Amino acid sequence: MNIKRDHTKKVKKPWPTKEAMEQIYDMNLWGSNGSDFYSGEGSHHPNIKKPYVEKLSQFLESFESPITVCDLGCGDFNVGKELVQYAKEYFAVDIVDSLILRNKEKFKHDRVTFYCLDIAKDELPVADCAIIRQVFQHISNAEIESTLAKLSSYRYVIITEHLPNGNFEPNIDIISGQGIRLKKKSGVDVLVPPFNFKAKKVTNLLTIPLGTNKGVLVTNLYKTY
């Protein structure tokens, strides 16, 4: 469909994230293990998944009473399913409708509620802790900034990102989709411009080397208040 534009006004382009993520799953762009939905090695490779689940479960078990968790970008829920037992309630969010419908059928649990939401645009579930695992690396700076503005309501925020080895220029902008900033020798650091995320305390929970020229997976815990 052709759209006639008024070039005297600034045209606000829509964020293509929903369509891009739907295409990723439809075309198995993150690979496939024979299942209908596959969120890639970051959710399935034992050398990545196992230490992450161990660190997150240790954190969640450290509370005298279980806390509520909001998983922003839950994907195929291959990781989230391992953490549910440690939460009082677990809210799992993703942008792909068909993926959320599948998760609702496959992972029925009285502590889990699935939501199909755009984390940059929509109101997010209320919880004590937000988990954002390898999500920001795929989306634009505008979407990251919009999402971060909502995260101060969570006392704890746990962010995992794929970063280059050594020094790098952070937060080079991209168009949302399959790729990540690593191709631009960049990665997301929410503490520096243009984001400047405010946290009272930052703790590195886990760093996983992925090999020469493949970067590292870094998981940080941000205490906001």
Helix boundaries (H) for 39-96? 41-44, 46-61, 80-83
Helix boundaries (H) for 39-133? 41-44, 46-61, 80-83, 97-106
Q: pLDDT class for 27, splitting at 50, 70, 90? A: confident
Q: Find the mean pLDDT for residues 164-173.
A: 96
Q: Residue 26 belongs to what H/E stretch? A: helix 17-26
Read off the pTM.
Answer: 0.89
Q: How far apart are CA 151 and CA 131, in angstroms?
A: 10
Instruction: Give residue-wise pLDDT tens across range 31-77.
Output: 676 667 877 777 889 999 999 999 999 999 999 999 999 999 999 99
Q: How far apart are CA 224 and CA 199, in angstroms?
A: 4
Q: Looking at residue 2, what is its pLDDT?
A: 39
**In the chain, what are the domains?**
17-223 (3.40.50.150)
Given a cut of 70, whether residue 6 has pLDDT beyond it is no
Instruction: Give residue-wise pLDDT tens across range 70-86.
Output: 999 999 999 999 999 99
Q: Find the mean pLDDT for residues 135-152.
A: 96
